[in-house]
A and B are shown apart, each in its own frame.
Chain A
Amino acid sequence: MSTSPSASIGRRTVVLGLSAGACALVLAPKAAEATRAEADELIAKLAGGAKPQMDARVKIKLPEIAENGNTVPFTVSVDHPMVAGNSVTAIHVVAEGNPAPQVASFHFTPTGKAEVYARMRLAKTQEVRAIAVLSDGTALEGRKEVKVTVGGCGG
């Protein structure tokens, strides 16, 4: 054990108390985070047992680097018909690096467009995964890396 003064305070305290940085400094606390295996398990459950196939029709719109990890805007859209018998029935959003990886689930009736917009919290740099469940029981997946950075220095 270290005897340095900061060893006695929690990591979160240290992080918040750190009023400064290289350039930027917003270290996200390394709290418990889900593993990829846990995320896979969760996704299998959400997809009702179907194994999601990576598919470019599932589009995730997210900033490459989050401006504020506490509220990251995202849009998920699925390029798929929305008619009875052939539609997207649900979109699930999973942030595998978050302590609670299930971000949101959206359920659709077969009409309009399969598109959702919301904001989420991201604890750290990670891949965000979107699962689209289709009316025939299959599932499609899209992924996007989002960096939650302590910052850098502009040119």
Chain B
Amino acid sequence: MLTRRDFLQVAAATALGGAVPLGRAAAGQTITQDSLLAFQPVGQVTLLAFTDLHAQLKPLWYREPAVNLGAGADRGLAPHLPARAMMNAFGLKPGSAEAYAFTADDFVHLARTYGKVGGLDRMATLVKAIRAERPGNTLLIDSGDTWQGSYTSLKTLGADMVEAQTLLGVEAMTAHWEFTYGEARVKELVDKLPFPFLAANIKDTEWEEEVFPAQTMVERGGVRIAVIGQAFPYTPVANPRWQMPHWSFGIREEDMRKQVDLARAKGADLVVVASHNGFDVDRKMAARVTGIDVILTGHTHDAIPAVVPVGDTLLVAPGSHGKFLARLDLEVRDKRVVRHAFRLIPVLADAIAPDPEMAALIERIRAPHAAELSRVVGHTRGLLSRRGNFNGTFDDLICQAMLSERDAEIALSPGFRWGAALMPGEAITTEAIFNQTAITYPNTYRTEMTGAMLRDILEDVADNLFHPDPYYRQGGDMVRVGGLAFAIDPAKPMGSRLGDLRLTRTGKKLDAARSYVVSGWASVNEGTQGPPIWEVVANHVAKVKEVTLPDSHAVRVVGG
């Protein structure tokens, strides 16, 4: 028997042109493809943007962070707002599709109401519809982290995503995780792209020369648009340097100034930066580099319902995982934006008819791996999710797996912001495990560290998240811990944020001088030994069959 959801998906698949109302959504029955596309066009240019797709081709669950603390001047500003404050700031109604899309509030309940998000075939439908509405005015930009994050992207070393971007009609991109396929592979894939791969801030280590073009110029609606790319500045710090040994990154504010001036000198009416700096870094850069009209931000996975103006610059934060498509219409007069209209469109999968061409490509990409992707390893009783400043339940599961499979006292797991959620009762498939772990340096080490060293690591990573100056932040979340609990005061200076470190099993204080057996993954050191993390997690889940996690109390946030 078909459920209502099934019926709607079938109905949508038969392409009734979006007249189908979304799922149980509700009472109002107002969410349709047409209502998601509703937009009063403005000016000559329509920028379409997405970022941090993390190779997610299929609809998924993605919960926004429940905890997303701001540091320094960013404290209390979007996106660093608790759910209710976010709703108040942007006029989102609790329980609405927007509240579901932009906050973690009441997630499981709203997810059941509004269904999955994303799916590149849905995104393609929206892009095509907007292009048809605004022919010759539209420009589609991808701010990076597109080639990594799934089973198929890892198996094809990013080739599947290059095909998908090409079919979607991406017109320029920048990058971060792309580089973890190594210099040679990146060059190989870039050669296949029918659009420019831009990075103003990557220089070769020997001669400090540009490795990729910094900018490109296109014309839309009679407006000359310069698009400048800014790759993730700390790629060789946050990811293994050995994977990109000849390329140097950095924020390079001076170079950005030069590129903006160059674009203007070449006659640009509009200067757009496709950036993987992270939102807070871009907020600072926008205040210090004049002449940028729009920054399409990425990296920190923030989804902000409105554009954030900084001086004359408009910042767009288009979320992640294909969950949103940003549309920014601009009226440009005398090389200035005089009017704009914006919508961050939630890609509510059940309300949007999949684009048949993209659906066929996705099917072709996945077909050779179908058996492995759908293999059920176990089930979860509760919600498994990752995003948030501190341990999420999916991180807890990964840490549990390392503690048990690697026989360790303490587990460390990276604070990556990517990874789809699983709903209570859902099957944990191989695909779901790879969506959390698909990296090119997956070895799960087992080593000894002293209490002092563990503390140094935690302090250092905390500073990468909470340094008062955004230029010193790396944009990931706090390292996740298993077997260890601590208190943290984010507002304190480096070296003094952590306190009350204890082993959760015994309640004993962490001894600075004692050695502990530690297991972790995603080490940036070359030659790290150990089984890949997905194998460790799969073995653990296969043994426990049904994952039941207690609420995590590993981290206690203290201070004002």
Chain A residues engaging chain B, CB cutoff 8 angstroms = 2, 4-7, 14, 18-27, 61, 63-68, 73, 125, 145, 147, 149-155
Contact = CB atoms under 8 A, between A and B. Distances in A.
Contact of B527 (A18, A19, A27, A149): A19
A22 B457 contact: yes
B448 interface: yes
B238 interface: yes
B445 interface: yes
Contacts of B208: 73
B450 interface: yes
Given A21-B520, A154-B238, A149 B457 contact: no
Interface string B430-446: 00000000000000010
Given A20-B525, A150-B457, 16 more contacts: A2-B514, A6-B448, A24-B524, A26-B524, A64-B233, A67-B248, A67-B250, A149-B460, A149-B463, A149-B464, A151-B474, A152-B464, A152-B479, A153-B414, A154-B416, A155-B278
A25 B524 contact: yes
B412 A21 contact: yes
16 contacts: A2-B514, A4-B514, A6-B515, A19-B445, A20-B518, A20-B520, A23-B238, A24-B238, A27-B453, A63-B251, A64-B472, A65-B237, A149-B460, A152-B238, A153-B461, A154-B474
Given A125-B494, A153-B476, A153-B522, A22 B515 contact: no
Contacts of A63: 250-251
A20 B524 CA distance: 7
A63 B472 CA distance: 10
Interface string B454-497: 00111011011101010110111101000000000000001000
Contacts of B414: 22-23, 153
B440 to A, nearest CB: 13
Q: SS class of chain A's interface: helix, strand, loop or mixed?
A: loop
Contacts of A22: 412, 414, 457-458, 460-461, 479, 520
B338 interface: no
Given A23-B461, A67-B248, A154 B476 contact: yes
B515 A67 contact: no
Contacts of A147: 463, 467, 472
Interface string B170-181: 000000110000
Interface string B196-209: 00000000000010
A23 B472 CA distance: 17
A154 B234 CA distance: 8
A106 B208 CA distance: 22
Interface of B: 52, 145, 176-177, 208, 232-239, 241, 248-251, 254, 278, 299-301, 412, 414-418, 445, 447-450, 453, 456-458, 460-461, 463-465, 467, 469, 471-472, 474-477, 479, 494, 511, 513-515, 518, 520, 522-525, 527-529
Contacts of B523: 19-21, 23-25
B269 to A, nearest CB: 31
A155 B237 contact: no
B145 A155 contact: yes
Q: SS class of chain B's interface: helix, strand, loop or mixed?
A: loop
A155 B514 contact: no
Nearest 4 A/B pairs, CB to CB: A152-B464, A153-B476, A2-B513, A153-B414
B528 A154 contact: no
Given A150-B461, A152-B464, A19 B528 contact: yes
Contacts of A18: 447, 449, 453
A83 B445 CA distance: 60
B457 A154 contact: no
Nearest to B494: A125
A5 B513 CA distance: 10
A3 to B, nearest CB: 9
B387 to A, nearest CB: 10
Contact of B474 (A14, A26, A68, A153): A153
B528 A151 contact: no
B326 to A, nearest CB: 17
A97 to B, nearest CB: 13
A27 B461 CA distance: 12
A14 B299 CA distance: 33
A10 B404 CA distance: 31
B160 to A, nearest CB: 21
B236 A67 contact: yes
A23 B515 contact: no
A20 B474 contact: no
A104 B188 CA distance: 41
Given A21-B412, A23-B522, A6 B450 contact: yes
B237 A149 contact: yes
Contacts of B232: 154-155
Given A19-B528, A21-B523, A22-B414, A152 B474 contact: yes
A155 B447 contact: no
Contacts of B458: 22
B524 A65 contact: no
A67 B513 contact: no
Greatest chain B CB density within 10 A among A5, A22, A24, A125 is at: A22
Greatest chain B CB density within 10 A among A6, A68, A150, A154 is at: A154
Nearest to A15: B453
Nearest to B473: A152
